[in-house]
Amino acid sequence: MSNGDNKKMISVEEALQTILVGCRPLGLEKVDILEACGRVIGEDIIAPRDIPSAANSAMDGYAVRSGDTKGVKAGKPLEFKVIETVAAGSIPRKTLKEGQAARIMTGALIPKGADAVVRREDTETRDKTVLIKVAASKGLDIRFAGEDVQKEERVIAAGSVLRPGHIGMLAALGKAFVGVYQKPRVAILSTGDELVDISTDPPPGKIVNSNSYSLAAQVLDCGGIPIMLGIGRDKKEELVEKFQVARRADVILSSGGVSVGDYDFVKDVMGDIGNAMHFWQVAMRPGKPLAFGSIDGVPLFGLPGNPVSAMVSFEQFVRPYLLKMQGHTRIFRQTLTAVNAQDIKKSTGVKNFIRAIVYVKGNVYIAKVTGEQGSGMLKSMVAANAFIVLGENVSFIKKGDDVVVQLLDEIFTRTEFTRFG
Ligand code: AMP
Ligand code: MG
């Protein structure tokens, strides 16, 4: 690559900034709370009631008046008269008087008069009485009304990502439906005369369209809804037609046809029927060519055709965009510092995203390259759970140096023994 070429390039950061500046969250939709996990809530949740709604027992045991147990000493239990048994879900009928106890189950309402629960292990059950072996302080093993949640309290703030704990809380408050940001519908078009559908054995010169699938999987992975538009031939009219159909989506992705080849028409077509067209040489590897614009206000990403380039470009540009549309504020992958497991040489002037496995050894993270790194080599993505990110100015990085890695996946599922061909 000549320096002249470099001058026309923009950095990954510049491209990202231009792409994200116009990105707005979609509207809200009411969904069943089981559909809401992992999504961003668009409303504050205010508790309509206390949780617990009334004082109840934290243990299986005996409800007592704490003052009555004052005289209990080690080896000298006191005997209480058992006046009723209170099960979880039932209403205690009697009021405790001096020297009385009620047998009580976890979650059962505390009878009137009682102010402590002595757990079963600290008692000895007799016929109609119970021996209490420990002195109970006031409030012992009682869960008080509102101790978890108070009526009118804001328990979940708008903008939170809902996790299983939030779903449980919503259920506890009786909220079966909740307003979350809509999922973007993402139209995916793969361009190229060489492409055949997945069900076709490729004849000579042809290859299976895999990008539609990897991109659709990436869309699903970040919460979007892929709409498969199939294959577009390298003809302007056909691409115009396909992009017109794609306008009904919230975002359009295409792959291929954005480079400098004779049949790379995507950027021309985007310029003809769309507006605000940016065509960039982004200073990155893999994934140099990238077109970004819109058709009738629908954002369009023209991703490169090479299978790894398409995926890496999706990761860097499309994923943050789709997450922002869904109300997320943490839109970038987590990064951490790992120890580089091999010498790596690279050209300066481009940021590299090297497919790697990150694993834990002792108390450090190790980053190991997943073998051959060609931008058409999908196997490098199959093995990877991270990218080693090397900045534009870096030309060489030694084994043992610290490197920044961008995590794509759970690191603890991989080990250094993972094979990658
Ligand atoms: P292009 O950017 O259109 O020149 O494509 C670059 C390379 O990516 C070529 O080798 C294409 O055959 C390959 N390619 C393009 N689109 C796809 C696709 N949908 N699935 C798999 N490979 C593709
Ligand atoms: Mg092509």
> pLDDT tens per residue, the chain (421 residues)?
333 333 468 999 999 999 999 999 999 999 999 999 999 999 999 999 999 999 999 999 999 999 999 999 999 999 999 999 999 999 999 999 999 999 999 999 999 999 999 999 999 999 999 999 999 999 999 999 999 999 999 999 999 999 999 999 999 999 999 999 999 999 999 999 999 999 999 999 999 999 999 999 999 999 999 999 999 999 999 999 999 999 999 999 999 999 889 989 998 998 888 877 888 999 999 999 999 999 999 999 999 999 999 999 999 999 999 999 999 999 999 999 999 999 999 999 999 999 999 999 888 999 999 999 999 999 999 999 999 999 999 999 999 999 999 999 877 655 555 554 4
| CATH class of this structure's domain 3-27+183-325 | alpha beta
Q: What's the pLDDT tens digit per position in 181-232?
A: 999 999 999 999 999 999 999 999 999 999 999 999 999 999 999 999 999 9
Identify whether the C-beta of residue 331 lies closer than 8 Å to the C-beta of residue 324.
Answer: yes
For ligand 1, what atom is nearest to the CA of residue 306?
8
**What is the percentage of the chain residues whose pLDDT exceeds 70?**
95
Q: How far apart are CA 219 and CA 212, in angstroms?
A: 10
| Coil, helix or strand at residue 64 | strand
Q: How far apart are CA 279 and CA 301, in angstroms?
A: 10
- Closest by Cα among 93, 95, 142, 94 to 115: 142
Q: Name the pairing type of β-strands 207-208 and 195-196.
A: parallel
Q: 106: which residues sit within 8 A by CB, 6+ positions away?
A: 57, 58, 59, 60, 88
Identify whether the C-beta of residue 290 lies closer than 8 Å to the C-beta of residue 15.
Answer: yes
Q: What is the pTM of this model?
A: 0.93
For ligand 1, which residues put their CB under 6 angstroms from it?
A: 190, 192, 194-195, 207, 209-212, 255-257, 259, 261, 264, 304-307, 376
Measured by CA distance, the residue closest to atom 16 of ligand 1 is 305
Residue 85 has a pLDDT of: 98
Q: In CATH, which of 3.30.1360.20, 3.40.50.1010, 3.90.105.10, 3.40.30.10 is domain 38-51+149-181?
A: 3.90.105.10
**Ligand lying closest to the C-alpha of residue 307:** 1
Domain boundaries, the chain: 3-27+183-325, 38-51+149-181, 56-143, 335-407
Question: What is the chain's Cα-based Rg?
Answer: 31
* Sheet architecture: strand order including 78-86: 116-119, 61-64, 100-104, 78-86, 129-132, 123-125
Q: Name the pairing type of β-strands 344-345 and 396-397.
A: antiparallel
Q: What's the pLDDT tens digit per position in 142-184?
A: 999 999 999 999 999 999 999 999 999 999 999 999 999 999 9
The CATH fold assigned to 335-407 is Beta-clip (2.40.340)
The CATH fold assigned to 56-143 is Molybdopterin biosynthesis moeA protein; domain 3 (2.170.190)
Measure 88 CA to ligand 1 centroid, in angstroms. Answer: 64
Q: How far apart are CA 218 and CA 319, in angstroms?
A: 8
Measured by CA distance, the residue closest to atom 15 of ligand 1 is 305
Measured by CA distance, the residue closest to atom 12 of ligand 1 is 194
